[in-house]
Copies of this chain bind each other. A is one copy, B any other.
Amino acid sequence: MFEKVLIANRGEIAVRIIKACQEMSIKTVAVYSNVDKKAPHVQLADESISLGDPTPIESYLNILKIIEFAQDAGADAIHPGYGFLAENPDFAQACKSKDIKFIGPNPDVISLMGDKIAAKKTMEKAGVPVIPGYHGKNQDNTSLVKEGMKIGFPLLVKAAAGGGGKGIRIVHNEDVLEESIEGAKRESKSSFGNDTVFLEKYIEKPRHIEFQILADEHGNIIHLFERECSVQRRHQKIIEETPSPIINPELREKMGNTAIKAAKAVNYYNAGTVEFMVDGELNFFFMEMNTRLQVEHPITEMTTGIDLAKWQLKIANGMKLTLKQNDIFQRGHAIECRIYAENPSKGFLPSIGTIEKVEFPTGPNIRNDTGIFAGMEITPYYDPMLSKIVVSSENREESINKMIWALSKYVVLGVTTNISFLQKVISHKEFRKGNITTHFIDNYFKDWAISKEGLPITAIIALAVYDSIHSRTQEIVRYKESDPHSPWKHVGRWRIGAEE
Protein backbone atom coordinates (compact mmCIF):
# COMPACT_ATOMS: atom_id res chain seq x y z
CA MET A 1 0.00 0.00 0.00
CA PHE A 2 1.06 3.63 -0.37
CA GLU A 3 3.35 4.95 2.34
CA LYS A 4 2.22 8.56 2.18
CA VAL A 5 -0.60 10.33 0.35
CA LEU A 6 -0.94 14.06 -0.26
CA ILE A 7 -4.52 15.31 -0.25
CA ALA A 8 -4.88 18.14 -2.76
CA ASN A 9 -8.08 19.52 -1.32
CA ARG A 10 -9.65 21.19 1.69
CA GLY A 11 -12.81 21.03 3.81
CA GLU A 12 -14.89 17.99 4.55
CA ILE A 13 -13.60 15.87 1.68
CA ALA A 14 -9.97 16.34 2.74
CA VAL A 15 -10.94 15.28 6.26
CA ARG A 16 -12.82 12.25 4.93
CA ILE A 17 -9.84 11.09 2.87
CA ILE A 18 -7.27 11.69 5.61
CA LYS A 19 -9.31 9.51 7.98
CA ALA A 20 -9.53 6.73 5.39
CA CYS A 21 -5.74 6.88 4.92
CA GLN A 22 -5.03 6.88 8.63
CA GLU A 23 -7.21 3.83 9.22
CA MET A 24 -5.14 2.10 6.55
CA SER A 25 -1.90 3.24 8.24
CA ILE A 26 -1.05 5.53 5.33
CA LYS A 27 0.68 8.78 6.32
CA THR A 28 -1.06 11.91 5.10
CA VAL A 29 0.07 15.32 3.92
CA ALA A 30 -2.41 18.19 3.97
CA VAL A 31 -1.99 21.33 1.89
CA TYR A 32 -3.67 24.58 2.83
CA SER A 33 -3.98 28.18 1.83
CA ASN A 34 -3.43 30.98 4.33
CA VAL A 35 -7.09 31.23 5.31
CA ASP A 36 -7.20 27.49 6.05
CA LYS A 37 -4.25 27.40 8.43
CA LYS A 38 -6.41 26.24 11.33
CA ALA A 39 -8.78 24.06 9.31
CA PRO A 40 -9.57 20.54 10.55
CA HIS A 41 -7.91 18.83 7.59
CA VAL A 42 -4.65 20.57 8.48
CA GLN A 43 -4.88 19.61 12.14
CA LEU A 44 -5.77 16.01 11.40
CA ALA A 45 -3.08 15.24 8.83
CA ASP A 46 0.29 13.85 9.82
CA GLU A 47 2.04 16.67 7.96
CA SER A 48 0.90 19.88 6.35
CA ILE A 49 2.32 22.38 3.89
CA SER A 50 1.18 25.93 3.25
CA LEU A 51 0.17 26.89 -0.27
CA GLY A 52 0.11 30.58 0.62
CA ASP A 53 -2.27 32.96 -1.15
CA PRO A 54 -5.89 31.86 -0.78
CA THR A 55 -6.85 32.60 -4.40
CA PRO A 56 -7.66 29.14 -5.77
CA ILE A 57 -5.35 29.50 -8.75
CA GLU A 58 -2.48 30.26 -6.37
CA SER A 59 -3.32 27.50 -3.92
CA TYR A 60 -5.60 24.51 -4.45
CA LEU A 61 -5.48 24.86 -8.23
CA ASN A 62 -1.74 25.38 -8.38
CA ILE A 63 -0.51 22.25 -10.10
CA LEU A 64 3.19 23.05 -9.98
CA LYS A 65 3.23 23.92 -6.30
CA ILE A 66 1.24 20.87 -5.27
CA ILE A 67 3.36 18.45 -7.27
CA GLU A 68 6.52 20.01 -5.90
CA PHE A 69 5.26 19.73 -2.33
CA ALA A 70 4.28 16.11 -2.88
CA GLN A 71 7.80 15.37 -4.03
CA ASP A 72 9.33 17.25 -1.12
CA ALA A 73 7.20 15.38 1.37
CA GLY A 74 7.97 12.06 -0.27
CA ALA A 75 4.31 11.32 -1.02
CA ASP A 76 3.84 8.41 -3.40
CA ALA A 77 0.27 9.32 -4.32
CA ILE A 78 -2.07 12.31 -4.50
CA HIS A 79 -5.79 12.20 -3.80
CA PRO A 80 -7.56 15.13 -5.46
CA GLY A 81 -10.94 14.86 -3.67
CA TYR A 82 -13.66 16.49 -5.77
CA GLY A 83 -13.67 19.93 -7.39
CA PHE A 84 -10.37 21.83 -7.76
CA LEU A 85 -7.97 19.55 -9.64
CA ALA A 86 -10.00 16.35 -9.38
CA GLU A 87 -11.04 16.39 -13.02
CA ASN A 88 -8.10 18.23 -14.47
CA PRO A 89 -6.30 15.96 -16.95
CA ASP A 90 -3.19 18.16 -16.89
CA PHE A 91 -2.85 17.57 -13.19
CA ALA A 92 -3.31 13.82 -13.57
CA GLN A 93 -0.71 13.89 -16.35
CA ALA A 94 1.70 15.98 -14.28
CA CYS A 95 1.47 13.48 -11.43
CA LYS A 96 2.17 10.63 -13.81
CA SER A 97 5.20 12.36 -15.27
CA LYS A 98 6.68 12.79 -11.79
CA ASP A 99 5.96 9.18 -10.85
CA ILE A 100 3.36 10.13 -8.29
CA LYS A 101 0.21 8.03 -8.44
CA PHE A 102 -2.85 10.15 -9.20
CA ILE A 103 -5.79 8.61 -7.37
CA GLY A 104 -8.25 8.63 -10.24
CA PRO A 105 -8.58 7.31 -13.74
CA ASN A 106 -6.24 7.71 -16.68
CA PRO A 107 -5.72 11.38 -17.77
CA ASP A 108 -7.15 10.56 -21.22
CA VAL A 109 -10.41 9.43 -19.67
CA ILE A 110 -10.67 12.61 -17.59
CA SER A 111 -10.06 14.61 -20.73
CA LEU A 112 -12.65 12.73 -22.71
CA MET A 113 -15.33 12.89 -20.01
CA GLY A 114 -14.54 16.54 -19.36
CA ASP A 115 -15.48 17.35 -22.91
CA LYS A 116 -19.26 16.93 -22.75
CA ILE A 117 -19.62 16.72 -26.51
CA ALA A 118 -16.98 14.06 -27.01
CA ALA A 119 -18.28 12.17 -23.97
CA LYS A 120 -21.77 12.05 -25.41
CA LYS A 121 -20.53 10.87 -28.78
CA THR A 122 -18.51 8.12 -27.17
CA MET A 123 -21.50 6.98 -25.18
CA GLU A 124 -23.81 7.06 -28.16
CA LYS A 125 -21.35 4.84 -30.02
CA ALA A 126 -21.22 2.41 -27.08
CA GLY A 127 -25.00 2.05 -27.15
CA VAL A 128 -25.73 4.18 -24.11
CA PRO A 129 -28.91 6.28 -24.62
CA VAL A 130 -28.24 10.03 -24.85
CA ILE A 131 -30.44 13.12 -25.04
CA PRO A 132 -31.07 14.46 -28.57
CA GLY A 133 -29.01 17.59 -29.14
CA TYR A 134 -26.35 19.48 -31.04
CA HIS A 135 -22.73 19.08 -30.05
CA GLY A 136 -21.12 20.37 -33.20
CA LYS A 137 -18.22 22.64 -33.86
CA ASN A 138 -20.18 25.45 -35.40
CA GLN A 139 -20.25 27.79 -32.47
CA ASP A 140 -21.35 30.98 -34.18
CA ASN A 141 -24.68 32.21 -32.90
CA THR A 142 -26.46 31.80 -36.24
CA SER A 143 -25.55 28.12 -36.54
CA LEU A 144 -26.42 27.43 -32.95
CA VAL A 145 -29.76 29.17 -33.29
CA LYS A 146 -30.49 27.07 -36.39
CA GLU A 147 -29.59 23.84 -34.62
CA GLY A 148 -31.66 24.87 -31.64
CA MET A 149 -34.69 25.40 -33.84
CA LYS A 150 -34.22 21.86 -35.20
CA ILE A 151 -34.22 20.31 -31.72
CA GLY A 152 -37.26 22.32 -30.68
CA PHE A 153 -38.30 23.88 -27.38
CA PRO A 154 -37.84 23.75 -24.54
CA LEU A 155 -34.13 23.22 -24.95
CA LEU A 156 -30.99 23.63 -22.90
CA VAL A 157 -27.84 25.60 -23.64
CA LYS A 158 -24.94 24.09 -21.71
CA ALA A 159 -21.26 24.84 -21.34
CA ALA A 160 -19.26 22.02 -22.93
CA ALA A 161 -16.75 22.19 -20.11
CA GLY A 162 -19.42 22.82 -17.47
CA GLY A 163 -20.31 21.33 -14.16
CA GLY A 164 -22.02 22.37 -10.97
CA GLY A 165 -24.74 24.21 -12.81
CA LYS A 166 -22.48 26.88 -14.22
CA GLY A 167 -23.03 28.01 -17.78
CA ILE A 168 -26.51 26.52 -18.14
CA ARG A 169 -29.55 28.22 -19.70
CA ILE A 170 -33.03 26.83 -20.26
CA VAL A 171 -34.70 28.29 -23.35
CA HIS A 172 -38.44 28.18 -23.74
CA ASN A 173 -38.87 30.01 -27.03
CA GLU A 174 -37.12 31.41 -30.05
CA ASP A 175 -37.11 35.02 -28.81
CA VAL A 176 -34.52 34.51 -26.12
CA LEU A 177 -32.47 31.76 -27.74
CA GLU A 178 -29.60 33.89 -28.96
CA GLU A 179 -29.41 35.91 -25.75
CA SER A 180 -29.24 32.68 -23.71
CA ILE A 181 -26.53 31.27 -25.91
CA GLU A 182 -24.49 34.40 -25.29
CA GLY A 183 -25.02 34.27 -21.52
CA ALA A 184 -23.99 30.63 -21.32
CA LYS A 185 -20.90 31.33 -23.39
CA ARG A 186 -19.87 34.23 -21.17
CA GLU A 187 -20.37 32.31 -17.94
CA SER A 188 -18.55 29.30 -19.35
CA LYS A 189 -15.65 31.42 -20.47
CA SER A 190 -15.35 32.98 -17.05
CA SER A 191 -15.69 29.75 -15.11
CA PHE A 192 -13.83 27.30 -17.31
CA GLY A 193 -11.85 29.40 -19.74
CA ASN A 194 -13.75 27.88 -22.66
CA ASP A 195 -16.90 29.19 -24.30
CA THR A 196 -17.97 26.18 -26.33
CA VAL A 197 -21.62 25.35 -25.66
CA PHE A 198 -23.98 22.64 -26.74
CA LEU A 199 -27.70 22.37 -27.13
CA GLU A 200 -30.02 19.61 -26.12
CA LYS A 201 -33.64 18.66 -25.77
CA TYR A 202 -34.99 19.78 -22.47
CA ILE A 203 -36.68 16.97 -20.56
CA GLU A 204 -39.95 17.73 -18.78
CA LYS A 205 -40.35 16.41 -15.23
CA PRO A 206 -36.72 15.43 -15.21
CA ARG A 207 -35.06 13.54 -12.42
CA HIS A 208 -31.36 13.45 -11.89
CA ILE A 209 -30.41 9.88 -11.02
CA GLU A 210 -26.83 8.69 -11.02
CA PHE A 211 -25.11 5.34 -10.57
CA GLN A 212 -22.00 4.77 -8.53
CA ILE A 213 -19.42 2.52 -10.10
CA LEU A 214 -16.17 1.05 -8.87
CA ALA A 215 -13.65 -0.32 -11.36
CA ASP A 216 -10.10 -1.60 -10.96
CA GLU A 217 -7.13 -1.54 -13.31
CA HIS A 218 -7.68 -5.19 -14.17
CA GLY A 219 -11.02 -4.79 -15.92
CA ASN A 220 -13.26 -5.68 -12.97
CA ILE A 221 -16.20 -3.38 -12.57
CA ILE A 222 -19.32 -3.21 -10.45
CA HIS A 223 -22.06 -0.68 -9.82
CA LEU A 224 -23.28 0.26 -6.35
CA PHE A 225 -26.80 1.29 -7.29
CA GLU A 226 -28.33 4.67 -7.78
CA ARG A 227 -28.51 8.03 -6.04
CA GLU A 228 -31.54 10.22 -6.54
CA CYS A 229 -30.22 13.78 -6.77
CA SER A 230 -33.19 15.64 -8.19
CA VAL A 231 -33.59 18.18 -5.42
CA GLN A 232 -31.43 21.02 -6.68
CA ARG A 233 -31.21 24.79 -6.42
CA ARG A 234 -29.41 26.83 -9.03
CA HIS A 235 -28.71 23.49 -10.76
CA GLN A 236 -26.76 22.25 -7.77
CA LYS A 237 -27.77 19.27 -5.66
CA ILE A 238 -28.79 19.95 -2.09
CA ILE A 239 -30.53 16.72 -1.04
CA GLU A 240 -29.61 13.26 -2.25
CA GLU A 241 -31.07 9.91 -1.34
CA THR A 242 -30.85 6.24 -2.14
CA PRO A 243 -32.73 4.20 -3.19
CA SER A 244 -34.64 6.49 -5.53
CA PRO A 245 -38.35 6.51 -4.78
CA ILE A 246 -39.19 5.75 -8.42
CA ILE A 247 -36.65 3.15 -9.44
CA ASN A 248 -37.96 -0.42 -9.53
CA PRO A 249 -35.68 -3.49 -9.47
CA GLU A 250 -35.85 -4.07 -13.25
CA LEU A 251 -35.02 -0.47 -14.08
CA ARG A 252 -32.28 -0.50 -11.45
CA GLU A 253 -30.63 -3.48 -13.06
CA LYS A 254 -30.96 -2.00 -16.54
CA MET A 255 -29.54 1.36 -15.54
CA GLY A 256 -26.78 -0.26 -13.49
CA ASN A 257 -25.72 -2.35 -16.44
CA THR A 258 -25.80 0.71 -18.67
CA ALA A 259 -23.55 2.55 -16.22
CA ILE A 260 -21.10 -0.34 -16.35
CA LYS A 261 -21.28 -0.30 -20.14
CA ALA A 262 -20.52 3.42 -20.14
CA ALA A 263 -17.51 2.97 -17.87
CA LYS A 264 -16.23 0.01 -19.87
CA ALA A 265 -16.46 2.03 -23.08
CA VAL A 266 -13.64 4.25 -21.80
CA ASN A 267 -11.65 1.59 -19.88
CA TYR A 268 -12.50 3.35 -16.66
CA TYR A 269 -10.89 2.61 -13.33
CA ASN A 270 -11.36 4.35 -9.93
CA ALA A 271 -14.65 5.21 -8.26
CA GLY A 272 -16.88 7.04 -10.70
CA THR A 273 -20.41 8.21 -11.30
CA VAL A 274 -22.60 7.93 -14.36
CA GLU A 275 -25.30 10.59 -14.30
CA PHE A 276 -28.60 9.99 -16.03
CA MET A 277 -31.62 12.12 -16.65
CA VAL A 278 -34.84 10.19 -16.16
CA ASP A 279 -38.10 11.51 -17.59
CA GLY A 280 -41.67 11.08 -16.40
CA GLU A 281 -42.01 7.81 -18.31
CA LEU A 282 -38.85 6.40 -16.77
CA ASN A 283 -36.81 6.75 -19.96
CA PHE A 284 -33.23 7.46 -19.05
CA PHE A 285 -30.46 9.30 -20.87
CA PHE A 286 -26.75 9.58 -20.19
CA MET A 287 -25.84 13.09 -19.02
CA GLU A 288 -22.22 12.91 -17.97
CA MET A 289 -19.68 10.87 -16.12
CA ASN A 290 -17.85 12.18 -13.06
CA THR A 291 -14.39 10.71 -12.85
CA ARG A 292 -13.93 11.21 -9.12
CA LEU A 293 -15.44 10.65 -5.70
CA GLN A 294 -18.79 12.40 -5.55
CA VAL A 295 -19.93 14.81 -2.81
CA GLU A 296 -22.89 12.53 -2.13
CA HIS A 297 -20.90 9.27 -1.93
CA PRO A 298 -21.79 8.70 1.77
CA ILE A 299 -25.38 7.65 1.05
CA THR A 300 -24.04 4.82 -1.11
CA GLU A 301 -21.62 3.86 1.65
CA MET A 302 -24.41 3.80 4.21
CA THR A 303 -26.72 1.58 2.16
CA THR A 304 -24.12 -0.79 0.70
CA GLY A 305 -21.62 -0.93 3.57
CA ILE A 306 -18.76 -0.30 1.12
CA ASP A 307 -16.08 2.30 1.85
CA LEU A 308 -15.57 4.09 -1.46
CA ALA A 309 -12.66 6.26 -0.37
CA LYS A 310 -10.71 3.23 0.83
CA TRP A 311 -11.45 1.39 -2.40
CA GLN A 312 -10.12 4.34 -4.38
CA LEU A 313 -6.85 3.97 -2.51
CA LYS A 314 -6.77 0.20 -2.99
CA ILE A 315 -7.56 0.45 -6.70
CA ALA A 316 -4.96 3.16 -7.26
CA ASN A 317 -2.48 0.87 -5.58
CA GLY A 318 -3.19 -1.78 -8.21
CA MET A 319 -5.31 -4.05 -6.06
CA LYS A 320 -8.04 -6.16 -7.58
CA LEU A 321 -11.66 -5.45 -6.78
CA THR A 322 -12.62 -8.35 -4.54
CA LEU A 323 -16.25 -7.24 -4.41
CA LYS A 324 -18.53 -9.05 -6.84
CA GLN A 325 -21.72 -7.53 -8.22
CA ASN A 326 -23.81 -10.25 -6.59
CA ASP A 327 -22.35 -9.53 -3.16
CA ILE A 328 -23.43 -5.91 -3.24
CA PHE A 329 -26.89 -5.03 -2.07
CA GLN A 330 -28.70 -1.98 -0.82
CA ARG A 331 -30.17 -2.02 2.65
CA GLY A 332 -32.41 0.58 4.21
CA HIS A 333 -32.58 4.14 3.01
CA ALA A 334 -30.06 6.97 3.27
CA ILE A 335 -30.42 10.72 2.79
CA GLU A 336 -27.82 13.45 2.58
CA CYS A 337 -28.40 17.17 3.05
CA ARG A 338 -25.72 19.63 2.07
CA ILE A 339 -25.26 22.48 4.50
CA TYR A 340 -24.35 25.64 2.62
CA ALA A 341 -23.37 29.07 3.83
CA GLU A 342 -26.04 30.77 1.77
CA ASN A 343 -29.28 32.65 2.07
CA PRO A 344 -32.21 30.71 0.59
CA SER A 345 -34.50 33.73 0.87
CA LYS A 346 -32.12 35.83 -1.20
CA GLY A 347 -31.67 33.60 -4.21
CA PHE A 348 -29.26 31.31 -2.37
CA LEU A 349 -26.69 34.04 -2.26
CA PRO A 350 -23.53 32.72 -0.61
CA SER A 351 -22.95 34.21 2.80
CA ILE A 352 -19.66 34.98 4.42
CA GLY A 353 -18.60 35.71 7.97
CA THR A 354 -17.22 33.98 11.03
CA ILE A 355 -18.70 30.78 12.37
CA GLU A 356 -19.18 31.72 16.00
CA LYS A 357 -20.62 28.45 17.18
CA VAL A 358 -21.24 25.06 15.64
CA GLU A 359 -22.86 21.93 17.03
CA PHE A 360 -23.52 18.75 15.16
CA PRO A 361 -26.39 16.40 15.81
CA THR A 362 -25.18 12.94 16.80
CA GLY A 363 -26.91 9.60 17.13
CA PRO A 364 -27.16 6.15 15.61
CA ASN A 365 -26.81 6.27 11.82
CA ILE A 366 -26.14 9.98 11.69
CA ARG A 367 -22.95 10.86 9.85
CA ASN A 368 -21.42 14.32 9.81
CA ASP A 369 -18.88 14.99 7.10
CA THR A 370 -17.52 18.38 7.91
CA GLY A 371 -14.51 20.62 7.74
CA ILE A 372 -15.73 23.56 9.81
CA PHE A 373 -15.08 24.72 13.36
CA ALA A 374 -16.04 27.53 15.71
CA GLY A 375 -13.95 30.57 14.85
CA MET A 376 -13.62 29.66 11.17
CA GLU A 377 -13.90 32.44 8.61
CA ILE A 378 -16.13 31.66 5.66
CA THR A 379 -14.49 33.51 2.80
CA PRO A 380 -15.62 34.09 -0.77
CA TYR A 381 -12.63 32.16 -2.10
CA TYR A 382 -14.13 28.70 -2.06
CA ASP A 383 -17.36 26.80 -2.49
CA PRO A 384 -19.81 27.73 0.28
CA MET A 385 -20.58 24.12 1.23
CA LEU A 386 -19.85 23.78 4.96
CA SER A 387 -20.65 20.17 5.58
CA LYS A 388 -22.90 17.25 4.84
CA ILE A 389 -25.29 15.55 7.15
CA VAL A 390 -26.16 11.98 6.23
CA VAL A 391 -28.63 9.65 7.89
CA SER A 392 -29.83 6.14 7.24
CA SER A 393 -32.48 3.88 8.69
CA GLU A 394 -34.75 0.98 7.83
CA ASN A 395 -36.89 2.88 5.32
CA ARG A 396 -37.46 6.22 3.63
CA GLU A 397 -40.05 7.53 6.05
CA GLU A 398 -37.86 6.85 9.06
CA SER A 399 -34.89 8.45 7.36
CA ILE A 400 -36.89 11.57 6.61
CA ASN A 401 -37.92 11.76 10.26
CA LYS A 402 -34.35 11.19 11.40
CA MET A 403 -33.12 13.93 9.07
CA ILE A 404 -35.75 16.37 10.34
CA TRP A 405 -34.63 15.62 13.89
CA ALA A 406 -30.96 15.97 12.99
CA LEU A 407 -31.45 19.27 11.17
CA SER A 408 -33.45 20.64 14.09
CA LYS A 409 -30.41 20.01 16.33
CA TYR A 410 -27.85 21.37 13.87
CA VAL A 411 -26.51 24.67 15.18
CA VAL A 412 -24.43 26.99 13.02
CA LEU A 413 -24.27 30.55 14.32
CA GLY A 414 -22.45 33.42 12.67
CA VAL A 415 -23.16 32.85 9.00
CA THR A 416 -26.50 32.39 7.29
CA THR A 417 -27.04 28.78 6.26
CA ASN A 418 -29.68 26.79 4.44
CA ILE A 419 -30.49 24.57 7.43
CA SER A 420 -33.99 25.93 8.07
CA PHE A 421 -34.67 25.75 4.37
CA LEU A 422 -33.57 22.10 4.20
CA GLN A 423 -35.91 21.28 7.08
CA LYS A 424 -38.82 22.77 5.20
CA VAL A 425 -37.93 21.04 1.95
CA ILE A 426 -37.55 17.62 3.52
CA SER A 427 -40.80 18.00 5.47
CA HIS A 428 -42.73 19.02 2.37
CA LYS A 429 -45.59 16.66 1.62
CA GLU A 430 -44.57 16.20 -2.01
CA PHE A 431 -41.05 15.32 -0.94
CA ARG A 432 -42.46 12.81 1.53
CA LYS A 433 -44.42 11.26 -1.31
CA GLY A 434 -41.28 11.08 -3.43
CA ASN A 435 -42.73 13.42 -6.05
CA ILE A 436 -39.54 15.21 -6.90
CA THR A 437 -38.01 16.54 -10.08
CA THR A 438 -35.13 18.91 -10.65
CA HIS A 439 -37.75 21.68 -10.58
CA PHE A 440 -38.87 20.81 -7.08
CA ILE A 441 -37.32 23.84 -5.41
CA ASP A 442 -38.52 26.24 -8.11
CA ASN A 443 -42.00 24.77 -7.97
CA TYR A 444 -42.52 24.85 -4.24
CA PHE A 445 -39.97 27.19 -2.72
CA LYS A 446 -39.71 30.07 -5.13
CA ASP A 447 -40.28 32.84 -2.63
CA TRP A 448 -39.37 31.02 0.51
CA ALA A 449 -38.26 33.08 3.44
CA ILE A 450 -37.66 31.92 6.96
CA SER A 451 -38.54 35.18 8.58
CA LYS A 452 -41.61 36.44 6.79
CA GLU A 453 -43.30 36.60 10.11
CA GLY A 454 -40.32 38.27 11.70
CA LEU A 455 -38.70 37.17 14.91
CA PRO A 456 -40.75 34.42 16.60
CA ILE A 457 -41.72 34.95 20.20
CA THR A 458 -39.51 32.05 21.29
CA ALA A 459 -36.47 33.89 19.93
CA ILE A 460 -37.53 37.13 21.60
CA ILE A 461 -37.91 35.38 24.95
CA ALA A 462 -34.59 33.59 24.59
CA LEU A 463 -32.82 36.83 23.74
CA ALA A 464 -34.37 38.65 26.65
CA VAL A 465 -33.38 35.88 29.06
CA TYR A 466 -29.88 35.79 27.65
CA ASP A 467 -29.40 39.52 27.92
CA SER A 468 -30.85 39.51 31.39
CA ILE A 469 -28.45 36.78 32.54
CA HIS A 470 -25.50 38.52 30.95
CA SER A 471 -26.31 42.06 31.98
CA ARG A 472 -24.57 43.48 34.99
CA THR A 473 -27.79 44.94 36.30
CA GLN A 474 -28.93 43.50 39.61
CA GLU A 475 -32.24 41.77 40.03
CA ILE A 476 -34.85 44.46 40.35
CA VAL A 477 -38.09 44.75 42.20
CA ARG A 478 -41.13 44.28 40.00
CA TYR A 479 -43.51 47.11 39.31
CA LYS A 480 -46.96 46.32 40.46
CA GLU A 481 -48.72 44.75 37.53
CA SER A 482 -51.72 47.01 37.87
CA ASP A 483 -49.62 50.16 38.06
CA PRO A 484 -50.84 52.43 35.24
CA HIS A 485 -47.48 54.20 35.19
CA SER A 486 -45.57 51.01 34.61
CA PRO A 487 -43.12 51.25 31.74
CA TRP A 488 -44.03 47.64 30.95
CA LYS A 489 -46.66 48.93 28.58
CA HIS A 490 -45.95 50.27 25.14
CA VAL A 491 -43.37 47.66 24.19
CA GLY A 492 -43.71 46.04 20.81
CA ARG A 493 -42.36 45.96 17.30
CA TRP A 494 -42.27 48.52 14.56
CA ARG A 495 -40.63 48.92 11.25
CA ILE A 496 -37.70 51.26 10.98
CA GLY A 497 -38.68 54.34 9.06
CA ALA A 498 -42.39 53.67 9.25
CA GLU A 499 -44.56 56.68 9.96
CA GLU A 500 -45.88 56.69 13.48
Contact = CB atoms under 8 A, between A and B. Distances in A.
Interface residues of A, number: 28
Nearest to A306: B394
Contacts of A367: 364-365
B363 A19 contact: yes
Contact of A23 (B362, B369, B405): B405
Interface in A296-346: 298, 301, 305-307, 310, 331-332
A393 interface: yes
A394 B305 contact: yes
Nearest to A363: B19
A310 B364 CA distance: 11
Contacts of A362: 368
Interface in A144-170: none
A24 interface: yes
**Interface core residue of A307, A363, A392, A394 (most chain B CB under 10 Å):** A363
A331 B305 contact: yes
A243 to B, nearest CB: 13
Contacts of A368: 362
A362 B372 CA distance: 13
B394 A364 contact: no
A303 B421 CA distance: 33
Tell which of A306, A362, A392 has the most Cβ of chain B within 10 Å. A362
A141 interface: no
Contacts of A24: 401
Query: Which of A301, A305, A332 is the most central at the interface, judged by chain B CB atoms within 10 Å of its CB?
Result: A305
Contacts of A332: 305
Interface string A267-310: 00000000000000000000000000000001001000111001
Contacts of A369: 364
Interface in A398-433: 398, 401-402, 405
Nearest to A405: B23
A19 B364 contact: yes
A354 interface: no
Interface in A23-63: 23-25
Contacts of A22: 405
Contacts of A301: 364-365
Given A16-B363, A22-B405, A365-B367, 8 more contacts: A19-B363, A19-B364, A23-B405, A24-B401, A298-B364, A305-B394, A307-B365, A307-B398
